Structure 1
Amino acid sequence: MKKFILSFLIGLSLLTCLLSCSSLTTNSYKAKGVDLDQYQTYAWVNLKHFVGEDQENKQRYARFILEHADEEIRAKGFQLDTINPQVVFQFDTKIEHKISYNRTPSVSMGIGIGGPGYYVGGAVPVSGGQVVTKEFDEGMLTIEMIETQTGRLLWRGWAQEKVGFETNLEADLEKAIPQIFMRLPIKKKK
């Protein structure tokens, strides 16, 4: 029984670490003084730039993003209006190559001498303190809400995450899109 409880606790802590150690982060920006609840209709900007034989992969993910984001926008109570929308949404994706710099900790060795009535001590740095570089790719999905009459940016939400060969883009996008739209400060319309 004790082994079962111990293995359960270890498994639970590993699961917690895996769930909380995700590198996906989301942020948003809202224009000051704008009440986003006043907008009811939307459309998407022209996505023709994704179409083309050499853009097949981008086109596939564009449709995936569009379908999932459209679902989230409708859940906020917006109605699709391609003739005269109050706002338009657009999205962009990019992958940037980045470099991070970290310093390794210094390792010190302490020396001490003691005797009756006096004490002498000191520390001598032995090694460490080197700057270590780490290269990685970071993917970003940005979704923007723009007022059609003025062209003013009303809201922008984005998600970013480290990506690599093992990254499942569809699974990450499926997780990122709802998290981005949770940051869109609109009460669900009836």
Structure 2
Amino acid sequence: MRPLIRLAPLLMACVLTACAGIDVSTNYDPSAVQQLDGYKTYAWLPQPQGSDKRVYNPIVGGEVERAADAYLQSHGYQKVEANPDFLLGWHGAIDNKLEADTVNAYYGYPYDPMWDPFYGGGPVAMSAPETVVREYEQGTLLLDVVDAQSKKLVWRGQAQSEIDDNAKAEKQQSNINKSVEEILERFPPRGGK
């Protein structure tokens, strides 16, 4: 039983990691809500350039655009070459993060055969809480909606998630697709399409 107690904090950290999902947020110009509701056509801004080739490369860019095109077109938007209502652009980043989790060995439930009063035992001292520090990489994807006439940013969606460097290409593409979809589910803001 004691080796399991020592592994409990590490196991808990692994469980929390497995539960990590995609955090999505959006921001928009409140005065542009009616304008956003009226958008029907879009075009892409030029591919962004950046120094991190894990983010800024034709494979990632193509996957972001394919996922956004599929979502937008399935929701009635039309991609056009000339005179779009809005321009769509994306940016990304990968940052190193630290996470610290403090847990006690029994997670608040003091069970040990020595503690059970039916077997003559009494309360056993709880082991001290342990803190597990974990380093990981977090990816951020931004999708921007720019009004085609004014060239002003009117809506931005952001998705953040932990990156698994060992994930196969199919899993990485699936994560990009899911991030794009979860961002665009919030476009336009409430009251829109």
Percent identity, aligned pairs only? Answer: 23
Cα distance in 2 for partners of 1:153, 1:133 equals 38
| CA RMSD between the two structures | 3.2
The Cα of 1:80 is off from its aligned counterpart by 2.2
Letter in 2 for 1:37: D
The number of aligned residues is: 153
Contact 2:42 2:77 in 1 (8 A): yes
1:11-66 Cα shifts (integer Å, max 9, x gaps): xxxxxx9xx9352222222221322111222110012748xxx7898211211111
Secondary structure at the residue paired with 1:70?
A: helix
Equivalent in 21, 24, 28 of residue 22 of structure 2 = 24
Letter in 2 for 1:157: G
Give the TM-score taking structure 1 as reference length.
Answer: 0.66
The Cα of 1:160 is off from its aligned counterpart by 1.5
The Cα of 1:87 is off from its aligned counterpart by 1.0
The verdict on how the C-alpha distance between 1:183 and 1:95 changes in structure 2, with shifts beyond 3 A counting, is same
Match of 2:94 in 1: 95
Secondary structure at the residue paired with 2:151?
A: coil
Letter in 2 for 1:79: Q
Match of 1:142 in 2: 142
Cα distance in 2 for partners of 1:102, 1:42 equals 44
Cα distance in 1 for partners of 2:66, 2:164 equals 24
* Residues 1:172 and 2:147 aligned together: no
Unaligned ranges ≥5, structure 2: 1-14, 107-124
Match of 2:60 in 1: 61
Cα distance in 1 for partners of 2:84, 2:21 equals 35
Match of 1:128 in 2: 128
The Cα of 1:172 is off from its aligned counterpart by 1.0
Contact 2:69 2:79 in 1 (8 A): no
Secondary structure at the residue paired with 1:184?
A: coil
* Residues 1:181 and 2:191 aligned together: no
- Structure possessing the higher radius of gyration over alpha carbons: 1
Secondary structure at the residue paired with 1:84?
A: coil
Unaligned ranges ≥5, structure 1: 1-16, 108-124
Give the TM-score taking structure 2 as reference length.
Answer: 0.65
Match of 2:69 in 1: 70
